[in-house]
């Protein structure tokens, strides 16, 4: 038991959190709230519960030419994952560019300056995952 307590202290976790049941909640895409992440020609929907603070997932519809804005930006999360469901997406970093097609997944630090765009002639559908959630709330 002392090893468990020490491990929890190192990870900054309450010991009781190891014994809590995980919350189960369904978010239907048709009911998922639209949120504004600041991009152009994009519809973002929050598909995880608003109050979820450990992870946040967005499903985004990117029109041809859609982009994240004029400048590189950061997100306050340790890990950001972009999965392309359909279409193409280009992600720009300070040190280079990655082009992703349907089925591709890119993992990087949300704190690394980046931007994205849909370079293709057709819409793209993507999933963004942020760990931990950069924001959460009960609204």
Query: What number is the average pLDDT over the span 81-108?
Result: 98
Cβ-Cβ contacts under 8 Å for 29 (sequence gap 6 or more): 45, 47, 59
Residue located via tokens 């359909």: 86
pLDDT band at 14 (very low <50, low <70, confident <90, very high): confident
3-state SS of 5-57 is HHHHHHCCCCHHHHHCCCCCCCCCHHHCCEECCCCEEEEEEECCCCCCCCCEE
Structure confidence by residue, pLDDT tens digits, 39-66: 999 999 999 999 899 999 999 999 999 9
Looking at residue 138, its pLDDT comes to 47
Task: Report the C-alpha gap between 93 and 111 in whole angstroms.
Answer: 11
Domains annotated for the chain, with CATH where assigned, are: 23-131 (2.60.120.10)
Q: Determine the straight-line distance between the first and last CA of the chain, rounded to whole angstroms.
A: 39
pTM for the structure as a whole: 0.81
Question: Is the distance from CB of 131 to CB of 79 less than 8 angstroms?
Answer: yes
């Amino acid at each position: 038991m002392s090893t468990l307590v020490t491990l929890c202290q190192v990870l900054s976790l309450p010991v009781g959190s190891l014994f809590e049941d995980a919350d189960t909640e369904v978010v239907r895409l048709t009911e998922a709230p639209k949120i504004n992440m600041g991009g152009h020609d994009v519809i973002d929907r929050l598909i995880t519960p608003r109050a979820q603070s450990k992870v946040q997932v967005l499903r985004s519809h990117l029109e041809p030419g859609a982009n994240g804005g004029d400048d590189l930006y950061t997100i306050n999360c340790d890990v950001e994952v972009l999965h392309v469901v359909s279409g193409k997406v280009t992600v720009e970093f300070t040190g280079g560019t990655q082009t992703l097609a349907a089925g591709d997944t890119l993992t990087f630090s949300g704190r690394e300056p980046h931007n994205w765009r849909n370079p293709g002639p057709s819409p793209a559908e993507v999933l963004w995952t942020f760990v931990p959630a950069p924001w959460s709330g009960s609204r």
